[in-house]
Amino acid sequence: MTHRRAVSLLILATLLWSIAGVVTRQLDAARSFEVTFWRSLFNALALVLALSVMRGAGFWGGFRRARWPVWISGVCWALMYTAFMVAMTLTTVANVLVMIALGPLVTALFSRAVLDHRLPWRTWAAIVLAGGGIAWMYGAEALSGASLVGTVVAGVVPLAAAVNWIVLQFVASRSQSGADMPDMMPAVLIGATLSAAATLPVALPLQASLHDVAWLALLGVVQLAIPCLIVVRLSRELPAAEISLYDLLEVIFGVTWAWLWGGETPSASTLLGGGLVIIALVFNEMLALRRT
């Protein structure tokens, strides 16, 4: 797979991730933990079907024999699915997004320390510029509505994401060197199952209508299952820090959906900050293509 095609698929994955906000606005009664439960449940059901088709009859046998990287990655997926929604109930959306913007930097540092990956200067510059763009978009609002507990919970998301990308990168690099490494696709299913099981007790009594369940099924399949499988596949092609960097596009796409279909007009600081993120990503990609 060429670098350009891998980046194009990664952008598609972030585009699918970004529909969560505008779809959630269509819900009638489901809220908070119930949204996470139904979304994770439908994610798990979709993954069972998809992985059974992709891997055939041997999928469940391999699933039972899954080794430690699969389980670590699965726990990370579960933390990412769940901590985001919990943080939303404890602090402002802006505070959560600013914390998530730390993801590329945390991933780059973990990649350097654990895998000894030396990132090119263009990627470091893009991480700083893109993180600054997100901070510009939401910094003032985050400071005005900050909650210590909510901030700590929101910080779990970039930390879990960084560990997940590092584990996926480790498995991919070992596989390319000829080592016998496990299939990482089942980790997404483990994460979805753990997330659904953890949020069900606090989601009761369930309030979702059939209308809500239909929208949440869309989230589980299109917004979680498909892009997560895409990203696991792309971990063989792209560095962990670059995957985390392009994940920031989810914020930009989410703002755009809210503008087009949610009636929310972005502020000047949002437009400027979003522009910085896009400039950083274009800058990184142009230099990568030039180097190629």
Which residues, other chains included, contact 179 with Cβ-Cβ below 8 Å and sequence gap of 6+? Answer: none
pLDDT score of 254 more than 90: no
pLDDT score of 292 more than 60: no
Q: What is the pLDDT of residue 291?
A: 62
pLDDT tens column, 143-163: 666 667 877 888 899 899 999
Distances (CA, A) of 182 to 9, 36, 59, 133, 178: 23, 28, 12, 37, 12
Answer for the pair 39, 216: CB distance below 8 angstroms, yes or no: yes
pLDDT tens column, 275-284: 888 888 777 7
pLDDT tens column, 51-107: 888 877 777 776 777 788 899 999 999 999 888 878 877 777 667 777 887 888 888
pLDDT score of 262 more than 70: no
Q: What is the pLDDT of residue 107?
A: 85
On average, the pLDDT of the chain sits at 83
Burial of 268 (0-12, 13-18, 19+ CB in 10 A): exposed
Q: Return the amino acid letter for 274.
A: G
* Number of domains, the chain: 1
Answer for the pair 280, 104: CB distance below 8 angstroms, yes or no: no
Task: Print the domain residue range for 90.
Answer: 3-291
Token code pair at residue 85: 């929604």
Which residues, other chains included, contact 254 with Cβ-Cβ below 8 Å and sequence gap of 6+? Answer: 18, 19, 20, 21, 22
The per-residue b/e assignment along 171-195, b for 16 or more CB within 10 angstroms, e otherwise, is bbeeeeeeeebbbbbbbbbbbbbbb
pLDDT tens column, 27-53: 888 877 898 899 999 999 999 999 888
pLDDT score of 130 more than 90: no
Answer for the pair 90, 152: CB distance below 8 angstroms, yes or no: no
Distances (CA, A) of 125 to 55, 138, 163, 203, 287: 40, 20, 22, 42, 11
Instruction: Return the top range by mean pLDDT from 5-14, 25-34, 177-186.
Output: 5-14
Q: What is the pLDDT of residue 277?
A: 80
Counting residues of the chain whose pLDDT is more than 90, the rounded percentage is 27
